[in-house]
Amino acid sequence: MIAKKEQTEQEQLIKSLAKKTDEHEFYTPIPKNYEFGKTKYVIVTGSVISGVGKGIFSASLAKLLKDQGLKVEAMKFDGYLNVDAGTLNPYRHGEVFVLDDGTECDMDLGTYERFLDQELSKQNYLTAGKLFSGIIQRERDGKYLGRDVQFIPHVTGEIKSFIRTLAVQTQADVVLIEVGGTVGDIENSYAIEALREMAYEEGPGNSCFVNVTYILKPDSLGEHKSKAAQLGIRQLMSMGIQPHLVVCRSHEPIPEKIREKLSIFSNVPLDRVISLPDAESIYAVPLAIKQAGADAAVTDILQLKAKLKTQEKALARWQEFEEKIKSPKTEIKIAITGKYTGLHDAYASILNALEHAGAANDAHVIVEWVETTKIKSREDAAKTLEGVDGVIVPGGFGARGAEGKILCIQHAREQKLPYFGLCYGFQMALVEFARNVLGLKNANTTEIDPETKEDVVDILPEQKEKEGLGGNMRLGGQNIHIVKDTLAEKYYGATSIRERFRHRYECNPKYIELFEKSGIVFSGKDPKHPIMKILELPNHPFFVGVQFHPEFTSRPLSPQPLFKAFVAAAVQHHATHTPDHPASH
């Protein structure tokens, strides 16, 4: 542990050098009111391959620390030159998650929110594009006082400033930082360098580096091989970082000799080389990490044990939830008529919300993926949806598969099959109803047919003058007025709620009265403007469309109310439509 006097001298040196840019090579802006040693940092890096679960590990560790009474914040650095995730193709990057403040971000932040059960903000997400655009703007504004702006110290300095600003704004005990990709990626090298510098500046006992690696087991050999992991860790060490923990991801538990090899090779004690094989459910990971002693090791390294509180109640609640996931009383099938059915990560939050709602209803949800481009008729829709207990039309953009979605919605409405429309699914429900109930045969959204005369769905007024694709939608949290004596009020138990949006189009106000006269109830509305947010059909087991994305606010221990009600309706449908089930007679 660094002596208090020595720590104070180091703080004074850094603060004094931070102010000097002409004579010195330092650039370390320190946010106002920042206190060295007050916030501890956990840095999670990856090696060998990406996509092995750094986000799940980071979220699980953050949860365990929070459950012990610590104030925890989690943030992600992505090396992409995109300013945010809004324009990323879901096929390449997975779901675009939306925070309450409107930030379009990596899906890992959704995992953080769900596991921590807390809202994050733009301060929890940094991309290379966001970083460099800010640096270039500061250079244009003369903020660097004539200096030649370089990766070191300026880029690294801005990264450190971003992290410390999050610490000051949230007053966190621990900030957990996940570096996207793997060690060795050029796009991550300056971020890792910034974190090395930061650990040096903060002093011993204030930073903990965790490397999540992958242990290969080639089928042709039939045994685990650690050389790739060794080389990945060695590359991290060559960048000046000594990991404190090594987490070994694998399909199955790794042999003791593999742990021993990595321990010797990385200078990490054997009890801090942790085997973390694939789990049956992501919700089993926190308990697995705890059993491996990872959270205890982190709190020991960061000298936090004096601050810890018992976490028995939190663990018991989580174990009860996990048990419901593992041992459901019934099984239901939900069809998702999506555009990106080839990559399930594109609908990660929906899948999670269904799991949360399933556990609350003692049900296991099996997802049937429906490619709607293949649905050309009502008969196709009926055949495709045969045997399912509910239908979801998720968010999306563009015309591909839209007519197939409309046919699926018609089948669900007419056959009393539980239906839940999310954002685009809200709009498609309006088009279907307009065509088949109102008799407007050419009804459409102007997103698909800009020339339609029966434009029941049209672009939002504030979007008409905007150009480009980045950040030009209605984004983030919006307040919603819930009409009394509606199903929405019953499900939410409130007349004022807040949900997250990501859309450009809405129900055309000139058709609202016609829809309402014909049976649609708009049970959720903008508090000030004639913008419809929720529609429902009263004489249906469950037919609800929402203009927002309720999946973003679902949590494992507090499922989103509409998802919970939808799954409950699907469970009831299953009970009454299953042959030989008592309720079906």
Under 8 Å between Cβ of 217 and 250? yes
The CA-based dihedral angle spanning residues 56, 57, 63, 65, taken in that order and rounded to the nearest 10 degrees: -170
Sheet holding 444-445, edge to edge: 444-445, 455-459, 505-507
Least Cα distance to 524 among 483, 484, 563 occurs for 483
CA distance 435 to 478: 30
φ/ψ (deg, to 5) at 331: -135, 130
Contact 96, 85 (CB under 8 A): yes
Tell me, letter by letter, the H, E, C secondary structure of 53-119: CHHHHHHHHHHHHHHCCCCEEEEEEECCCCCCCCCCCHHHHCCCEECCCCCEECHHHHHHHHHHCCC
| Separation of alpha carbons 281 and 294, rounded Å | 19
Q: Which of 154, 224, 411, 549 is catalytic?
A: 549
Query: What CA–CA distance (Å, rounded) separates 575 from 567?
Result: 12
Q: Name the residue type at position 551.
A: E
Q: Is there a contact between 543 and 536 (Cβ–Cβ < 8 Å)?
A: yes
Nearest to 57 by CA among 40, 39, 76: 76
Catalytic residue status for 423: yes
Catalytic position from the list 73, 113, 432, 551: 551
- Whole-number Cα distances in Å, 462 to 339, 456, 472: 27, 17, 10
Q: Is there a catalytic annotation at residue 549?
A: yes
Is residue 419 within 8 A of residue 543, CB to CB? The reply is yes
Asked if residues 421 and 409 have their Cβ atoms less than 8 Å apart, the reply is yes
* Residue 230 phi, psi dihedral angles, 5° rounding: -60, -45
Residue 545 three-state SS: strand
Closest to 533 measured CA to CA, from 460, 436, 426, 450: 426
Q: How far apart are CA 7 and CA 200, in angstroms?
A: 11
The C-alpha angle with vertex 83 and arms to 77 and 84, in degrees rounded to 5, equals 70
Helix (H, G, I), strand (E, B) or coil at 479: strand
Whether 357 contacts 564, CB under 8 Å = yes
Structure tokens at 231: 């080389």
Given 208, 248, 408, 423, the catalytic residue: 423
What Cα–Cα distance (Å) separates residue 116 from each residue in 112, 127, 258, 326?
6, 22, 32, 21
Query: Using an 8 Å Cβ cutoff, are 109 and 84 in contact?
Result: no
Q: Is 540 part of the annotated catalytic residue set?
A: no
228 vs 237: CA distance, rounded Å:
14
As annotated, the active-site residues are 423, 549, 551
